Amino acid sequence: MLNNKWGYIDTQGTIVITCQFESAGVFSEGLALVKLNNKWGYIDTQGTIVIPCEFKNVREFSEGLAPVMLNNKWGYVNTQGEIFIACQFEDAQTFSEGLAAIQGGYSERDAYNYDKWGYINKNGKVVISCEFVTATHFHNGIAYVTKDIDFYARGGFIDKRGEHITAFHFDNFSQFYGFTGGLALVARQGTYDTKYGFISSRGKLIIPCEFDDANEISEGFASVKKDGKWGFIDKVGLVLPKPQFDDIGPFSEGLAPIKKDGKWGYIDRKGCEFIWYKFDSVGLFSEGLAIVRKGKKLGYVDKTGQLVIPYQFDDAYDFQQGLAKVIVNEQEYLIDNSPTMWVNESDYDKIILEMP
């Protein structure tokens, strides 16, 4: 952002698309959504408006189509800007595995249902009737949906034919991002609390709902909380190690953040404490470096725990393609992975790195 307008920079910090837009999004399938004169359209990587800014709202391209809103209804455009599926829905999501979730289509009883979700194919045909309270993207042929049952929204899985893979009995399962390594995180609401476990794509409970909290699987392990302490389990439920940490983060590049006695360090995939507890806060590893904090300043360590970029930043972001955004005294800079900061166009109001 420069002078309250959005544009795009390359990995060297050079402006490649002039700051001219009221708002802008990331590139997807070679196109990015932009806003001009309070309307949305799309530009290509050269900054040329290839789909005119004429829509009230839009979403990113996926599988060659993007949801757009025209006359308060949602439909889909193709990459040539042609209305490919008529604007007729109350809401619409991006395509995934050939299907897209839409709100307000025909129900299984052939009645127009404004508040329920179903799925269409790329011809715009409703192939899974609108009978769900919520609907998510398909991942590996499976989607998580919810239904009203006994005055509660109950969650379950369907396949691409709309067939129920599991019974609709999951409670508070609103954070579904698809299966990872064949398992999905689920939650069951008990009388007094919620317990978490993991289910297979066929609906079999592989890891019982016995944890007080849990996160999705990352690099073969999931972080779980039991009796007030965090630990890790693998995909068959083996604990690595016994929950003993005050806080924890997901594995990234073979290491995971762990907190004990008020300080942060890192554990490896064998359960060994790999980088000792000495930091006030830490981030995930990205391109071999992780953000760490001591006191009020941030720096970067490598996978041996060596401080390779000194504590000097007020805020810092992960490295992407050799660059990271950092903030010092409310000014934003770009740095490379050496200890020396380098600055490019330091009069930017805001620099956002969006890497492909």
**Mean pLDDT of the residues in the chain:** 87
Give the pLDDT of residue 105.
Answer: 64
pTM above 0.85, yes or no: no
Distance CA 175, CA 191 (A): 21
The upper half-sphere exposure of residue 144, i.e. CA atoms within 13 Å in the direction of its Cβ, equals: 23
Would you place residue 107 in the very low, low, confident or very high pLDDT band (cuts 50, 70, 90)? Answer: low
Distance CA 57, CA 73 (A): 10
Distance CA 62, CA 78 (A): 10
Q: Domain limits at 18? A: 1-55
Q: By percentage, how much of the chain surpasses pLDDT 90?
A: 58
4 within a domain of the structure (yes/no): yes
Give the pLDDT of residue 114.
Answer: 60
Give the pLDDT of residue 3.
Answer: 85
Give the pLDDT of residue 122.
Answer: 97
The model's pLDDT over 169-202, given as tens digits with 9 standing for 90+, comes to 665 454 555 677 778 888 777 777 888 888 886 6
Least confident of 55-69, 239-253, 284-298: 239-253
The model's pLDDT over 119-166, given as tens digits with 9 standing for 90+, comes to 999 999 999 999 898 898 998 888 888 887 766 677 788 999 999 887
Asked whether the predicted pLDDT for residue 277 surpasses 70, the reply is: yes
Distance CA 105, CA 198 (A): 32
- The answer to whether 102 and 88 have CB atoms below 8 angstroms apart is no
298 within a domain of the structure (yes/no): yes
Asked whether the predicted pLDDT for residue 345 surpasses 70, the reply is: no
Work out how many domains the chain is built from and give that number: 2
75 within a domain of the structure (yes/no): no
291 within a domain of the structure (yes/no): yes
**In Å, how far are 156, 186, 226, 236, 239 from 207, measured between CA atoms?**
17, 10, 14, 7, 11
Give the pLDDT of residue 165.
Answer: 81
Give the pLDDT of residue 239.
Answer: 82
Final residue before a domain boundary, out of 14, 35, 55 = 55
351 within a domain of the structure (yes/no): yes
Would you place residue 352 in the very low, low, confident or very high pLDDT band (cuts 50, 70, 90)? Answer: very low
317 within a domain of the structure (yes/no): yes
Least confident of 9-13, 117-121, 124-128, 251-255: 9-13
Tokens for 191?
A: 């009388």
Query: Backbone dihedral region of 54: left (phi > 0), alpha (psi from -120 to 50 degrees) or beta?
Result: alpha
Give the pLDDT of residue 42.
Answer: 98
Distance CA 336, CA 347 (A): 19
Compare 356 and 189 and report the one with higher pLDDT: 189
The model's pLDDT over 36-72, given as tens digits with 9 standing for 90+, comes to 999 999 999 999 999 999 999 999 999 999 999 999 9
Distance CA 48, CA 325 (A): 27
Tokens for 187?
A: 């939650």
Asked whether the predicted pLDDT for residue 6 surpasses 50, the reply is: yes
Compare 229 and 241 and report the one with higher pLDDT: 229
Compare 321 and 230 and report the one with higher pLDDT: 230
148 within a domain of the structure (yes/no): no
Give the pLDDT of residue 139.
Answer: 83
Compare 263 and 322 and report the one with higher pLDDT: 263
Cα pseudo-dihedral 97, 100, 106, 110, rounded to 10:
10
Give the pLDDT of residue 110.
Answer: 43
Would you place residue 351 in the very low, low, confident or very high pLDDT band (cuts 50, 70, 90)? Answer: very low
139 within a domain of the structure (yes/no): no
